[in-house]
């Protein structure tokens, strides 16, 4: 797709005279209406005016580009006018505007965004805009655009440069609220200024179609500084320790050399962040295992609100039915009308847990194209879609019958296989659940990366079609085939795991498992071990079994112990801690009761040997006691604020107290006294 595909002759008016900015907008909107680009003229015009209220879209050099993304837009399109006498458009340089393009963007799809980005970059060339302002006919106007686009953006993408010997001296990130116009214009202005000044510069654009030309960790490490020309938040944790100069996107367009000099002359302050950059942000060289962990955590962080809110709503439903005397009912949780409402809403949120997890794992791996395959794969994991028609024969029965027939000698292998195949034709849906969602996220993400690489050699003219046609179609087809094939296998594993946990609960082996998981909550207090235990517990909670509820209870009590133990130790063994540590410790009582394990991190970081071992033992003890006394938990978070949803709550609180005391005593014994 090219710019001339979005701009038609009937959408161009040359030599127009308009009294003011509003009249210019009216004329351009009327051209869109004339071309049939809009479904609601008033709504689209309102969007244009709302964008102008955020700040003028005039960019200087006698050019303005009003734009809006709106549901009132039928198809992506451009209109244009030339105003020989000029019109006051509030331009930053004070010059009247003589060339105005108006962008009509749809709210879904990014086919047009790269084309529009090209136009923004082309308009930064004054010789090009001068020709457009002098055009006599719409056809001549379009011919000038087509020639410049061909010259500046040839169809065959150029081979990427090997990279400058000394790397990029300056890096930059540009972004505007809509991600359509100013983002790319600022990038082009900075790149041009860098070339004119002889300073190698690379610019990342955070546009509506996602981040492009992303800065790598190596480039960030080797540059002299970073310019952020943005009117919206961009990811900055990756720039920790580097000089960073932040300003508005308009300065990137109008003051590019001044911004570059801020970095070269060392006038930019050093930026410090208390957050770690994620893998996708900086393109770092983490180990493969570390990358997998970061992708997983991206999924988990987006999933947790659904788990917590949905789980608590479901727990409230059980609580209401308990008070209503319906605890023994087969429809427990849905008997009372109010309980049924909470259960239904909670189930909707909880049901989104796996699709959200898979979607954001895939998105972390493959950026926006990965979101579709992850979400669909996760939903297929929960619904259990397979290649076979719905029926009543379970997958486990088919496999068991196959092997039983072979072992008993009642059938030959070909006959048994034929029977199993016939039964499979009527196989019921086989949800693969949490494990299937994890697999869908990772497989879908890396599958999309492979597709992107395969499509990287498309001609530039076809670039715009990839994000909304090629990637979604190939990705959806690939993940559909994969999940239909893997769901029966993962469903069998899920069933086996659930049965194993049930047998462990019946035999008493659930107690050491709960102790292990609770102890893991205290190893790194919010790190990989902690998250692994918590994610496992929430997955088991979704199974809605007694064993799953016991595991959730043990994990939460294990996470509550460390901050409570610190608070107790500083209160009782005051000679073991500094004045500052004692002064800050009381807040850990609240954090512990709220199930915020991270409250103990400052103390664990300052005194790892006494704090971490003591907390692990105390948490494990609390988890074991919770399981021993049959405590259960239907809510995945909340600490003692969800005590009403805890099975055997008094013994649960006792397990928490015992574990906290054990941890506090061990910490205090292992830690040396402090001499102020």
Active centre residues (catalytic): 67, 176
Placement of tokens 């996602």 in the chain: 210
- List the structure tokens of 483: 């999940």
**Nearest CA among 525, 527, 518 for reference residue 633:** 518
In a 3-state reduction of DSSP, which class is residue 173?
Answer: strand
CA-to-CA distance for 560 and 615, rounded, in angstroms?
A: 10
- With beta carbons less than 8 A apart as the criterion, state whether 52 and 26 touch: no
- With beta carbons less than 8 A apart as the criterion, state whether 358 and 444 touch: yes
CA-to-CA distance for 40 and 122, rounded, in angstroms?
A: 30
3-state helix, strand, coil in the chain (%, to 5): 60, 10, 30
| Residue 570, Ramachandran bin (φ over 0: left; ψ between -120 and 50: alpha; else beta) | alpha
Q: Please state whether beta strands 244-247 and 632-633 pair in parallel, antiparallel, or not at all (unpaired).
A: unpaired
Q: Please state whether beta strands 77-87 and 7-13 pair in parallel, antiparallel, or not at all (unpaired).
A: parallel
CA-to-CA distance for 572 and 568, rounded, in angstroms?
A: 6
**Nearest CA among 174, 177, 182, 178 for reference residue 203:** 174
Q: How distant, in Å, are the alpha carbons of 217, 221, 256 from that of 171?
A: 11, 11, 12
- List the structure tokens of 253: 């367009």
**Nearest CA among 176, 198, 174 for reference residue 187:** 174
CA-to-CA distance for 667 and 676, rounded, in angstroms?
A: 19
- With beta carbons less than 8 A apart as the criterion, state whether 471 and 369 touch: yes
CA-to-CA distance for 200 and 558, rounded, in angstroms?
A: 53
CA-to-CA distance for 530 and 537, rounded, in angstroms?
A: 11
455 Cα distance to chain centroid: 24
Q: What 8-state DSSP symbol labels residue 414?
A: H
- With beta carbons less than 8 A apart as the criterion, state whether 294 and 351 touch: no
């Amino acid at each position: 797709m090219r710019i001339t595909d979005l701009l038609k002759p009937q959408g161009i008016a040359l030599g127009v005279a308009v009294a003011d900015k509003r009249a210019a907008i009216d004329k351009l909107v009327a051209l869109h209406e004339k071309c049939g680009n809009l479904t609601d003229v008033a709504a689209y015009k309102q969007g244009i005016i709302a964008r102008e209220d955020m700040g003028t879209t005039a960019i200087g050099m006698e050019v303005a580009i009003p734009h809006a993304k709106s549901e009132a837009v039928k198809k992506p399109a451009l209109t244009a006018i030339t105003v020989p006498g000029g019109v006051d458009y509030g331009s930053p340089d004070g010059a009247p505007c003589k060339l105005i393009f108006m962008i009509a963007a749809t709210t879904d799809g990014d086919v047009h965004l790269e084309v529009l980005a090209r136009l923004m970059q082309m308009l930064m060339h004054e010789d090009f805009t001068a020709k457009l302002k002098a055009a006599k006919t719409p056809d001549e106007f379009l011919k000038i655009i087509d020639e410049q686009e061909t010259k500046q953006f040839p169809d065959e993408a150029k081979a990427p440069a090997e990279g400058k010997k000394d790397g990029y001296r300056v890096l930059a990130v540009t972004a505007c609220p809509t991600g359509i116009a100013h983002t790319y214009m600022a990038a082009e202005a900075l790149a041009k200024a860098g070339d004119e000044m002889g300073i190698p510069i690379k610019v990342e654009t955070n546009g509506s179609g996602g981040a492009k030309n992303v800065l790598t960790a190596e480039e960030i490490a080797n540059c002299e500084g970073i310019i952020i020309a943005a009117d919206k938040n961009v990811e900055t944790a990756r720039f920790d320790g580097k000089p960073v100069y932040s300003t508005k996107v308009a300065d990137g367009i109008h003051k590019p050399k001044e911004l570059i000099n801020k970095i070269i002359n060392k006038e930019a302050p050093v930026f410090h962040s208390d957050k770690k950059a994620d893998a996708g942000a900086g393109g770092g060289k983490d180990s493969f295992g570390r990358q997998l962990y970061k992708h997983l955590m991206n999924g988990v962080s987006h999933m947790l609100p659904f788990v917590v809110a949905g789980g608590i709503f479901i727990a409230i439903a059980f609580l209401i039915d308990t008070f209503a005397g319906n605890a023994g009912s087969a429809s427990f949780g849905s008997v009372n009308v109010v309980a049924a409402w909470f259960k239904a809403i909670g189930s909707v949120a909880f049901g989104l847990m796996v699709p959200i997890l898979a979607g954001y794992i895939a998105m972390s791996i493959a950026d926006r194209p990965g979101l579709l395959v992850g979400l669909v794969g996760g939903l297929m994991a929960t619904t259990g879609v397979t290649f076979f028609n719905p029926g009543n024969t379970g997958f486990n029965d088919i496999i068991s019958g196959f092997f039983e027939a072979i072992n008993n000698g009642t059938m030959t292998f070909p006959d048994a296989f034929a029977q199993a195949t016939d039964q499979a034709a009527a196989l019921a849906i086989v949800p693969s659940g949490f494990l299937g969602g994890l697999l869908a996220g990772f497989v879908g993400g890396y599958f999309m990366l492979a597709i992107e690489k395969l499509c990287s050699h498309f001609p530039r003219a076809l670039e715009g079609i990839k994000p909304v046609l090629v990637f979604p179609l190939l990705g959806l087809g690939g993940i559909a085939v994969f999940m239909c094939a893997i769901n029966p296998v993962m469903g069998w594993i899920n069933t086996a795991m659930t049965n194993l946990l049930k047998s462990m609960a019946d035999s008493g082996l659930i107690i050491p498992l709960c102790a292990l998981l609770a102890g893991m909550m205290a190893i790194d207090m919010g790190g990989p071990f902690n998250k692994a235990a918590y994610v496992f517990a929430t997955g088991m909670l979704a199974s809605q079994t007694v064993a799953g509820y016991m595991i959730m209870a043990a994990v939460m009590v294990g996470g509550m112990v460390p901050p409570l133990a610190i608070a107790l130790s500083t209160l009782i063994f005051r000679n073991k801690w500094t004045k500052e540590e004692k002064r800050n410790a009381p807040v850990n009582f609240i954090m512990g009761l709220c199930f915020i394990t991270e409250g103990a991190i400052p103390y664990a970081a300052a005194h790892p040997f006494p704090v971490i071992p003591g907390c692990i033992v105390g948490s494990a003890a609390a988890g074991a006691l919770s399981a021993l006394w049959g405590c259960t938990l239907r809510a995945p978070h909340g600490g003692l604020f969800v005590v009403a949803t805890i099975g055997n709550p008094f013994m649960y609180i006792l397990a928490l107290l015992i574990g906290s005391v054990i941890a506090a005593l061990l910490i205090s014994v292992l830690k040396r006294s402090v001499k102020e």
